[in-house]
Amino acid sequence: MKIIDAHAHLWLNAVTVVNGSPIHPLEPNRSRSLFFGEERQMLPPFMTDGHNTAERFLSNMDYAQVSAAVITQEFIDGLQNSYLQTVSRQYPDRFFCFGMPEWRQADYYDQALSLIAHGFKGLKIPAARLPKNFLEEDEFRRVLFLMQGNDVILGIELMDGDAQTGMMEELIADFPYLKIAIGHFGMVTRPGWMSQIRLARHKNVYVESGGITWLFNDEFYPFPSAIRAIREAADEVGWQKLMWGSDYPRTITAITYRMSYDFITKSKELTDDQKQLFLSDNARQFFGFGDLIELPYIKNMSE
């Protein structure tokens, strides 16, 4: 199986402000950050320079036998459009990169136009970090019209539960050819999460599981409740609508990168066909990956 990670992050320097709170690496341990006023381990402790680069991720991907990855963005990363353009040029067969306008600025339509002109085939919006009714703005609808006309994918993370699903239903109806990826598996451990999964009943909407190991972190590996949630979502919308995502690198402060998916491959509650769809085929079709690299298993020194 040639595995595709549908939700990961890259950055050179993660320095930003969200809701008036600074987020930046801490000296001298730049793998930790000031995160909304608290010290957090944002990267594995050996990443002491704070750089979460494509080359480091590719090393993890090659070791874990992950052929390709989708790079998303979030306000807490700081905008990484310039760096991700470079990544896309250097590794076109390994990465699909989302661009992200600064949605908190008035000229975000012009920024979206520029990002599309510079080759981005996906735009990301962390809607959960914006005002609840942002999705109803006329300017945002202009962006969606632009995206639909240019075959650009929308990646979106919504507020918990059904806070924004009604607005999304209206947008999906008005933009039936806009491909949409719902992130974080609908915030699966929060009440009302299935309302977000049900959006994937529409033919152009898929759901990716980025962060699912974080959301079930209290239970920890092998995340049996995550397996049950994936099966429940599949019963609702079909296996062909769900994609695996790791939320690398923050999730691998608690587990290894391989562990972020092998709880799926080792599960006896899923069939081989279901694993193939979830870990590979759905993302390959949705994001348009071509030929995928085949990666050998490399034996550990401890084996």
pLDDT for the residue 13:
87
Across the chain, where does the E strand assignment appear? 3-8, 16-18, 21-25, 32-35, 38-41, 66-71, 95-97, 122-125, 153-156, 180-182, 205-208, 242-243
Query: For tokens 């979460």, what's the residue?
Result: 52
Ordered strands of the 32-35 beta sheet: 16-18, 21-25, 32-35, 38-41
Cα–Cα dist 112/33, whole Å: 29
**What does each C-alpha distance from 297 to 61, 62, 64, 300 come to in angstroms?**
11, 9, 8, 9
Q: For 21-37, what is each residue's pLDDT tens digit?
A: 888 889 888 899 988 88
Please, are residues 48 and 76 in contact by the beta-carbon 8 Å criterion?
A: no
Residue-wise pLDDT tens digits, 58-90: 999 999 999 999 999 999 999 999 999 999 999
What mean pLDDT is predicted for residues 82-100? 98
- Tell me: the pLDDT tens digits for 105-137? 999 999 999 999 999 999 999 999 999 999 999
For 156, phi then psi, to 5°, come to -145, 140
What confidence score (pLDDT) does residue 39 get? 92
**By the 8 A CB rule, do 155 and 72 touch?**
yes
Residue 17 has pLDDT above 90, yes or no: no
pLDDT band at 172 (very low <50, low <70, confident <90, very high): very high
pLDDT per residue over 232-267, tens digit each?
999 999 999 999 999 999 999 999 999 999 999 999
pLDDT at 20 over 90: no
